[in-house]
Chain A
């Protein structure tokens, strides 16, 4: 890089408008929240949701024709970043809508949740647009630190604090590993810029033993952030121990960040060494599908079960990435987006059923839901069938895409392993459907929840169905993002 010039730095600032707006909005909401009384805390939520949606509009409004870098090459905007940002912002907004009632019932409706959420989202956006190792790390840490605090958010709950500590210790270890790997890669290639690293790797460094060493460390960090086996230990505990509104947050948008992390580091930066990291991902992927699906069967807590289910889905996302073809990356992106949509809805259902003094986070709590509310039982069934990968729901097309990707590189055995474990997985999703439809209700409480939440949750489920019947549009988005 040449001498630092202000002009070079500011020239692309307009590309970062969404991030800048979100950062300012986050600060403003933090201050405004001080002036709002506890009884009007929902205003904070409303403002945060508005800020997210405005940011999404801004992100959609940035005009890009092909990848453009800004801020001295640290920041990159391309079709993929735009699509991922919009999805992440909308998902976080939806998560906020689902969370308000739950927090009010527990007396933890505090502005900090939303402000932390906004800054975590900012971290996701920065990570998505990262064009240098520094930006990657910056975005990742901003996201992670906010998440640690959010997990500990219910400060009177011992379990919440315990999960936060676990998450923090393991997360810091992963961040350290990532930094170590990055420093090795920097040492070998002599650059922090992902573009230059890619050029260096292409230029003959692909077999360099030092680089492989660095890649291994990077893979560990990516595995951790995704929650892939054997770096998955934090997932079940954090999912179960956090307040459900935080589980919803942790379980949805950050997966997009993890996907972006993998794409930026492995594909943009280390694409030339695909043969090496592809093999490493095969191991992570198969183990995740196996352990995630098998252990999920034994769970009685729905949040924990969905935690293991996440692990298994990560295995499928990795299948797309490890294929190393643009079709594979597209299918991984498709999978990530659909998974996030479905996961948000599933946790939203738990939030909908919970009420004062009742968490609704055991699978048994869904017993007889069909008798209590056929509509929402139908919605939950849509989410479960979609997670199981059944047509005509969106989860089917996601699985189809990744299986097509691995068959495209002639890895038939991986495809067969993937479908075998998805049969195992179907069992525990079916168990939830079984509870809802085949069993009698044990608790006859009315299902309340604000009209807005019901409407958004229903829209969420119907989207899963509609995209399942006509997935063409989402395929096009992913194909456009990763040509």
Chain B
């Protein structure tokens, strides 16, 4: 009976549930925990049909819903997903459940508000991935900021206020410029329908301005060098759950925005400015990789590693233009886009897992400094195995999800320019260097101090969370076919879109 409104349910269930959890109040932490677990699991369950009933043979939007919202500006409550959005929604519902379980015992302060904020955030993030109306997209895009602002500011570390305000203002600035572009497109096309925007002919100057406005929003979110500086601060200060959601889902918003808005709406400007994106992506991959090497704080190291890995997403999204320019053929473009999306999913799983690992250690020792650890394997052997697995995945070991996306993007980049591939491949060395060195210093060696000696291995809850993530990382790494199949029609379609010039007569 609800089948026609599945996406609405996925958006509103966590939001309404989140408010219900808020209504439970901070005085009943145990009720709040169970209620939010219930809501998040129900949302995950409701999202499963998106995969099982998804038709991978079409690039058209599926599960479409459309109803009038604000008739006077011709905005609709229009939802739908394709093969790019679907995996990201599943990643969202999946990660939120893990975050709820991970926060079960470690959050003791204002419990209801903590979980309520995450659930509302989940609804807004799903909304971003399935909005087909630009205004709806923008509303969800901004709504995400509010719970995250509160999450970092209330449950974060010592410099949380600075970090959260920086996070908010940075992303707000980018988003507002995007809003100006969206309104401009609305005035040209007479509607807020994203599909109408994609069909709208635009001159190169217009496209360039719009592209830059989108770029301001998405580059900050990804984040790309040099507008990445909010990310290490936000990650370091955020509570574990906040870091996980931030890294696993919110950064994907930027990549998703490039694929959903920038490429199809401004294909000519994207072609003209592809060099810029590719250059910034490669700088992120190489330079930020070195920066990560120098970190003393575990969360900061993973944060920088995130920036480097997200460089692959943007590289994969834009390298297609260079492939066309140098080989004159379209083969390889879809591969780059596939790699870009797989990288998003994979990075969501791996970075989430790594932040959870840091959270596990932090709960025991209350330090994020690498120096405070050493020889954790002696006291926490099971945890150490997980940590090593995720570290190897982060370094791009074949057989893990981290390999698939990077491999596809590097392979495609070869067709564009050997040097792109060369610099991108540097990450295989750097990534291995900073993650394995981290593992060496934290996990291996003799027990560093009595605090480490007192660490207890994973409890059942932590084992469950990390175990599920480990399975997901290996699954995507060993058998990426279902994921690739689901998105293939959509990336093919996107390839066509980004090749067609929209410069009007």
- A412 and B72 within 8 A (CB): no
For A475, what are the chain B residues with a Cβ–Cβ distance below 8 Å? Answer: 70, 72-73
Q: Is B465 an interface residue (CB 8 A)?
A: no
A419 to B217, CA, bound (A): 13
- The interface stretch among A217-225, A249-257, A302-310, A385-393 is A385-393
Assess A471 versus B70: contact at CB under 8 Å? Given A403-B179, A404-B186, A422-B176: yes
- B180 and A412 within 8 A (CB): yes
The 8 A CB mask of A308-337 against B (1 = contact, 0 = none) is: 000000000000000000000000000000
Task: Count contacts on A: residues with CB < 8 A to the other chain.
Answer: 33
Within 8 A of B (CB), among A118-170: none
- B25 and A374 within 8 A (CB): yes
Within 8 A of A (CB), among B44-69: 69
- B180 and A438 within 8 A (CB): no
Within 8 A of A (CB), among B248-282: none
A400 to B138, CA, bound (A): 11
Q: Which of A385, A403, A472 is B146 in contact with, Cβ under 8 Å? A: A385
- B142 and A390 within 8 A (CB): yes
CB-nearest residue of chain A relative to B26? A374
- A430 and B149 within 8 A (CB): yes
A427 to B69, CA, bound (A): 30
Q: Which of B71, B153, B176, B209 is A419 in contact with, Cβ under 8 Å? A: B176
Q: Is B463 an interface residue (CB 8 A)?
A: no
Assess A391 versus B142: contact at CB under 8 Å? Given A412-B180, A423-B173: yes
Task: Count contacts on B: residues with CB < 8 A to the other chain.
Answer: 38
Q: Which of A412, A427, A433, A472 is B184 in contact with, Cβ under 8 Å? A: A412
For A476, what are the chain B residues with a Cβ–Cβ distance below 8 Å? Answer: 71-72
Assess A438 versus B176: contact at CB under 8 Å? Given A374-B26, A391-B142: no
Assess A408 versus B154: contact at CB under 8 Å? Given A391-B142, A403-B180, A420-B173: no
- A438 and B153 within 8 A (CB): yes
The 8 A CB mask of A404-435 against B (1 = contact, 0 = none) is: 10011000100110011011001100110110
- A407 and B150 within 8 A (CB): no
A400 to B186, CA, bound (A): 12
The 8 A CB mask of B424-460 against A (1 = contact, 0 = none) is: 0000000000000000000000000000000000000
For A396, what are the chain B residues with a Cβ–Cβ distance below 8 Å? Answer: 139, 142
Q: Is A75 an interface residue (CB 8 A)?
A: no
Q: Is A437 an interface residue (CB 8 A)?
A: yes
A324 to B259, CA, bound (A): 37
- A400 and B183 within 8 A (CB): yes
- A391 and B168 within 8 A (CB): no
Q: Is B228 an interface residue (CB 8 A)?
A: no
A430 to B145, CA, bound (A): 12
Tell me, rounded to whole Å, the shortest Cβ–Cβ distance linking B148 to chain A: 12
Tell me, rounded to whole Å, the shortest Cβ–Cβ distance linking B257 to chain A: 16
The 8 A CB mask of A369-408 against B (1 = contact, 0 = none) is: 0100010000000000100001110001000100110011
Assess A392 versus B143: contact at CB under 8 Å? Given A407-B187, A422-B176, A472-B69: yes
- B139 and A438 within 8 A (CB): no
For B25, what are the chain A residues with a Cβ–Cβ distance below 8 Å? Answer: 374
Q: Is B177 an interface residue (CB 8 A)?
A: yes
The 8 A CB mask of B179-206 against A (1 = contact, 0 = none) is: 1100110110000000000000000000
Q: Is A188 an interface residue (CB 8 A)?
A: no
Contacts across chains A and B counted by CB atoms under 8 Å: 91
Q: Which of B138, B153, B160, B161 is A391 in contact with, Cβ under 8 Å? A: B138
A181 to B171, CA, bound (A): 46
- B176 and A479 within 8 A (CB): no
A403 to B70, CA, bound (A): 17
The 8 A CB mask of B140-175 against A (1 = contact, 0 = none) is: 001101100110011000001100110011001100
Q: Is B306 an interface residue (CB 8 A)?
A: no
Q: Which of B73, B110, B172 is A426 in contact with, Cβ under 8 Å? A: B172
Q: Please report whether the interface of chain B is mostly helix, strand, loop or mixed according to DSSP.
A: helix
For A370, what are the chain B residues with a Cβ–Cβ distance below 8 Å? Answer: 110, 113
- B72 and A472 within 8 A (CB): yes
For A408, what are the chain B residues with a Cβ–Cβ distance below 8 Å? Answer: 187
Assess A391 versus B139: contact at CB under 8 Å? Given A407-B180, A423-B176, A430-B149: yes
Tell me, rounded to whole Å, the shortest Cβ–Cβ distance linking B78 to chain A: 15
Q: Which of A416, A434, A471, A479 is B161 in contact with, Cβ under 8 Å? A: A434
Q: Which of B113, B138, B145, B184 is A374 in contact with, Cβ under 8 Å? A: B113
Tell me, rounded to whole Å, the shortest Cβ–Cβ distance linking A269 to chain B: 28
For B142, what are the chain A residues with a Cβ–Cβ distance below 8 Å? Answer: 390-391, 396
Assess A407 versus B169: contact at CB under 8 Å? Given A392-B139, A438-B153: no
Tell me, rounded to whole Å, the shortest Cβ–Cβ distance linking A199 to chain B: 31
A64 to B283, CA, bound (A): 65
For A391, what are the chain B residues with a Cβ–Cβ distance below 8 Å? Answer: 138-139, 142-143
- A437 and B183 within 8 A (CB): no
A426 to B153, CA, bound (A): 16
Within 8 A of B (CB), among A3-39: none
- A404 and B187 within 8 A (CB): yes
A430 to B149, CA, bound (A): 9
For B113, what are the chain A residues with a Cβ–Cβ distance below 8 Å? Answer: 370, 374
For A392, what are the chain B residues with a Cβ–Cβ distance below 8 Å? Answer: 139, 143
Q: Which of A390, A404, A422, A479 is B145 in contact with, Cβ under 8 Å? A: A390
For A438, what are the chain B residues with a Cβ–Cβ distance below 8 Å? Answer: 153-154, 160-161, 164
A392 to B123, CA, bound (A): 13
A422 to B179, CA, bound (A): 12
CB-nearest residue of chain A relative to B156? A438
Tell me, rounded to whole Å, the shortest Cβ–Cβ distance linking A25 to chain B: 36
Tell me, rounded to whole Å, the shortest Cβ–Cβ distance linking B91 to chain A: 24
- A416 and B177 within 8 A (CB): yes
A434 to B161, CA, bound (A): 8
Assess A426 versus B168: contact at CB under 8 Å? Given A471-B70, A472-B69, A475-B70: yes
Assess A407 versus B183: contact at CB under 8 Å? Given A391-B143, A422-B176, A430-B165: yes
Tell me, rounded to whole Å, the shortest Cβ–Cβ distance linking A401 to chain B: 8
A433 to B164, CA, bound (A): 12
A419 to B169, CA, bound (A): 12
A370 to B153, CA, bound (A): 13
For B173, what are the chain A residues with a Cβ–Cβ distance below 8 Å? Answer: 420, 423
Tell me, rounded to whole Å, the shortest Cβ–Cβ distance linking A368 to chain B: 11
A431 to B160, CA, bound (A): 13
Tell me, rounded to whole Å, the shortest Cβ–Cβ distance linking A411 to chain B: 11
- A415 and B180 within 8 A (CB): yes
- A423 and B169 within 8 A (CB): yes
Tell me, rounded to whole Å, the shortest Cβ–Cβ distance linking B126 to chain A: 15
A426 to B174, CA, bound (A): 13
- A404 and B183 within 8 A (CB): yes
Tell me, rounded to whole Å, the shortest Cβ–Cβ distance linking B133 to chain A: 13
A438 to B180, CA, bound (A): 32
The 8 A CB mask of A435-450 against B (1 = contact, 0 = none) is: 0011000000000000
The 10 closest A-B pairs by CB, nearest first: A419-B176, A475-B72, A391-B139, A438-B153, A472-B70, A423-B173, A391-B142, A415-B180, A404-B183, A407-B183
Interface residues of A (CB under 8 A from B): 370, 374, 385, 390-392, 396, 400, 403-404, 407-408, 412, 415-416, 419-420, 422-423, 426-427, 430-431, 433-434, 437-438, 470-472, 475-476, 479
Q: Can you list 21 A-B pairs with a CB-CB distance of less than 8 A?
A: A374-B25, A374-B26, A374-B113, A390-B172, A391-B142, A392-B139, A400-B179, A403-B179, A404-B183, A404-B186, A420-B173, A423-B173, A426-B168, A430-B169, A433-B149, A434-B165, A437-B153, A438-B153, A438-B164, A471-B70, A475-B70
Interface residues of B (CB under 8 A from A): 22, 25-26, 69-73, 110, 113, 135, 138-139, 142-143, 145-146, 149-150, 153-154, 160-161, 164-165, 168-169, 172-173, 176-177, 179-180, 183-184, 186-187, 209
19 additional A-B residue pairs with CB within 8 Å, beyond A416-B180, A438-B164: A391-B142, A391-B143, A392-B143, A400-B73, A403-B179, A404-B186, A408-B187, A412-B180, A412-B184, A415-B183, A419-B180, A420-B173, A434-B165, A438-B160, A470-B69, A471-B70, A472-B69, A472-B71, A472-B72
